[in-house]
């Protein structure tokens, strides 16, 4: 899949290769690989860019690491209040995954 494209020589400075890898590994449950891809994605953006912070939070939420996910999304809210409705969707989604419906 994306790894194969990368292996075949795709420009490794293209950030969204790492975005897709982070999501794919995150959905598969391979958190170490997902976070490594998210970190590589983040390294290709300015510090505190909202997209890499959001990807990290998403990966953590999908894998039951709700407090860490909420911390990432809250950090994004603080640093980037205009991003995706102030990260409200990501925070709400994390609470839903955690079964904390009243907080969602």
| Residue 81 scores a pLDDT above 70 | yes
pTM for this model (two decimals): 0.86
pLDDT of residue 23: 93
Cα first-last separation, the chain: 34
- Apex CA 36: angle with CA 50 and CA 39, to 5°? 30
| Residue 5 scores a pLDDT above 60 | no
Q: Tokens 């970190």, residue?
A: 39
- Residue ranges covered by each domain of the chain: 2-97
- Apex CA 24: angle with CA 46 and CA 55, to 5°? 30
Give residue-wise pLDDT tens across range 28-58: 999 999 999 999 999 999 999 999 999 999 9
Q: What's the topology of domain 2-97?
A: 1.25.40
């Amino acid at each position: 899949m994306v790894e194969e494209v990368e292996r075949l020589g795709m420009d490794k400075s293209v950030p969204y290769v790492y975005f897709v890898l982070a999501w794919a590994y995150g959905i598969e449950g391979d958190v170490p690989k997902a976070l490594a891809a998210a970190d590589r994605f983040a390294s290709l953006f300015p510090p505190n860019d909202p997209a890499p912070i959001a990807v990290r939070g998403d990966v953590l939420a999908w894998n039951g690491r709700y407090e860490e996910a909420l911390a990432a999304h809250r950090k994004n809210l603080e640093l980037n209040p205009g991003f995706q409705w102030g990260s409200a969707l990501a925070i709400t989604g994390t609470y839903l995954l955690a079964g904390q419906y009243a907080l969602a």
